[in-house]
Amino acid sequence: MIWLTCAVVQVAGQSIQQSINDQVWKPFISTYNNRDTDGFMAIHSKDVVRSPRDAKMVLNWNEYFEQQKRGDDDGKTSGNKRQLGLRFAERIANDNQAMEVGIYKVIISDKTGNIRTFYGRFHVALRKENGIWKILVDTDSSEGNSTDEQDYLEASPME
């Protein structure tokens, strides 16, 4: 009986995580890498609270959209390419809410071939809105540039 209960809980957890991956993280990565501002922002709740902690800012949806649009437009103009990778340290979810903690890695390459890599930790709160997972709170930090490739590799890949 205990084994069956554990198996059901594990399968339900995998199903929730798969839904989050499919509805949030896969489109997040794709739209971010492709500088698709509208698609990227569609993953976020209209109630989103965005805090890039290194910049000491807190943004609402409109402010976040404007900041993201400027960055995407600048990147398109400059020809810079970016590649985002996400790995997870902690994933907690129920049927309607979730907390995701992990490490991001962004590789930026410019037209001359210069490559820069950035790392940071993210904390994201998600909630279901009309049956679809949305990002409600998104905060990240480079932790004083102390986050690195080792931290990234120690976190778990998205499954």
Q: How does pLDDT run across 6-63, given as a tens digit for each residue?
A: 334 444 446 999 999 999 999 999 999 999 999 999 999 999 999 999 999 999 999 9
pLDDT band at 159 (very low <50, low <70, confident <90, very high): confident
> Structure pTM?
0.88
Residue 1 has pLDDT above 70, yes or no: no
Tell me the pLDDT of the chain averaged across its residues.
92
Cα–Cα distance list, 153 to 5, 26, 45, 83, 122 (Å): 32, 19, 30, 16, 15
Instruction: Please give the domain boundaries of the chain with CATH numbers for all domains.
Output: 2-157 (3.10.450.50)
Strand-strand pairing, 81-93 and 44-52 = unpaired
Contact indicator for 126, 20 with CB cutoff of 8 Å: yes
Residue 5 has pLDDT above 90, yes or no: no
